[in-house]
């Protein structure tokens, strides 16, 4: 399956207006990447993504996984 590619300014979390760029910046505030679930929690703390309806959870997990895996 081909990974989904988002533009840096594309909104991933509509409720909180969090973009791919916001997620990327939040991830890179950490020196190391532990695992996708842990990083999701950290990104969520920084951006408030997926704290509204939660409908973006899967997309955010995919984005984080893609960033971590390079």
CATH number at residue 49: 1.10.10.1100
- 48 within 8 A of 12, measured Cβ to Cβ: no
pTM of the model: 0.80
**Which one is predicted more confidently, 33 or 11?**
11
47 is a domain residue? yes
Residue 5 pLDDT grade (very low, low, confident, very high; cuts 50, 70, 90):
confident
Q: Looking at the 3D structure of the chain, how many domains does it have?
A: 1
Per-residue confidence at 31, pLDDT binned at 50, 70, 90?
Answer: low
CB 50 within 8 A of CB 44: yes
In the predicted model, is pLDDT for residue 54 greater than 80? Answer: yes
pLDDT tens column, 9-30: 999 999 999 999 999 998 887 6
Q: Would 6 be classed as within a structural domain?
A: no
Q: What is the pLDDT of residue 22?
A: 94
Provide the domain limits for residue 63: 11-69
């Amino acid at each position: 399956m081909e990974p989904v590619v988002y533009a840096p300014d594309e909104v991933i979390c509509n409720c909180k207006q969090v973009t791919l760029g916001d997620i990327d910046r939040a991830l890179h505030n950490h020196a190391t990447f532990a695992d996708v679930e842990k990083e999701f929690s950290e990104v969520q703390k920084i951006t408030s993504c997926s704290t509204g309806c939660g409908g973006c959870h899967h997309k955010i997990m995919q984005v984080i996984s893609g960033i971590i895996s390079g």
